[in-house]
A = this chain, B = another copy of it.
């Protein structure tokens, strides 16, 4: 017998027909002899509807009252799933955030789970009752309803799995696992059987939106084994049909590269003719930080004749106008001659914990791109990731080329 937390997203819970399907999946898990707790999202579209009401009521809605309103969506689906489970002859009950309680920080609208009291829930599960918990919600120290921010139900599921010391947290979603890259670009992309938390974080943050980043961070911290799998396909008797996200230690045969990701949501800014002296870089990025601009890649060129240099960096496309405005206002401080920007860029990343122990990963990337005449505008690296900035029009080509170059293509 294993203890499993199953989490179903908004698409899986969209309407009573689908909720009945979810109940059947839960039933199948119970019939394997497992002890099951379920975490649910609101019906797809419901949270948007509730957020819309709050905005209409006041653009500056009190976040504590906003949370009272938007937390209701998961309350509805938790009750409905308990009803659907009972109608299949199973014992089940819902546990609202305040009933366990799920204790959170008081950062309403983006609260963090601090503690889940599982005593009552564990007693109920020991008596054969399936626990159904609404995701996304908890209560702060003053017993006010608090929500975790959009997509928070993944985090709720991982936190519950950690608190229950569950053997696994299965996240049911509308994809059947994590792929080596976007299958819409590379038809021969492969579904990964295993991936490490670190790889998942890097892939998620650069565009493969399967799990909410915070939920992966929490799983890594609490060593919760997370499986990503589809809510819409029949899984048969496969033990683990999806992708299992685990600690590096659990993976015996480590692949060099787990996947290739891309991100078209960045824009490039080049500050030209900056005096090449200490403190100038701080003069550029200080005002941007004050304006809450998230700067990503940064490249500083070699100093040119005349003692000036160029500094290139990327920002989210939605923050480009703001960034240019900040720079314009800081010209006196920085002393640049010109600012250029380009929002037709893409960031391509190869991710894999295996590159820690292998040299030459970046070289393979640069060479493969050069062979197709793709110019690299900027480079950043981390321990398990190499990212390059290229012209946006080459995105698909670059992803395909790298997928092949690292031997990720499925054998047909």
Contact = CB atoms under 8 A, between A and B. Distances in A.
Interface of A: 16-17, 19-20, 50, 53-54, 56-58, 60-62, 64-69, 71-73, 75-76, 78-80, 82-84, 86-87, 93-94, 96, 98-99, 143, 145
Copy count, this protein chain = 2
A74 to B, nearest CB: 9
Nearest to A71: B75
A62 B79 CA distance: 9
A45 to B, nearest CB: 13
Nearest to A20: B57
Contacts of A17: 56
Given A20-B57, A57-B20, A98-B98, A75 B83 contact: no
A69 B80 contact: yes
A80 B53 contact: yes
A83 B99 contact: no
Given A16-B56, A61-B83, A62-B83, 16 more contacts: A17-B56, A50-B76, A57-B80, A58-B86, A62-B86, A65-B79, A65-B80, A65-B82, A65-B94, A68-B82, A69-B75, A69-B76, A69-B83, A72-B73, A72-B75, A96-B145
Contacts of A84: 57-58
Contacts of A83: 54, 57-58, 61-62, 65-66, 69
Contacts of A76: 50, 53, 68-69, 72
A73 B46 CA distance: 13
A85 B160 CA distance: 36
Nearest to A98: B98
A17 to B, nearest CB: 8
A400 to B, nearest CB: 45
7 contacts: A54-B83, A58-B84, A61-B83, A61-B86, A68-B75, A69-B79, A98-B98
A104 to B, nearest CB: 16
Contacts of A65: 79-80, 82-83, 86, 93-94
A72 B145 CA distance: 13
A208 to B, nearest CB: 33
Contacts of A50: 76
Nearest to A23: B57
A57 B93 contact: no
A67 B82 CA distance: 12
B53 A16 contact: yes
Given A58-B87, A62-B83, A68 B53 contact: no
B64 A93 contact: yes
A130 to B, nearest CB: 12
A82 B53 CA distance: 12
A296 to B, nearest CB: 35
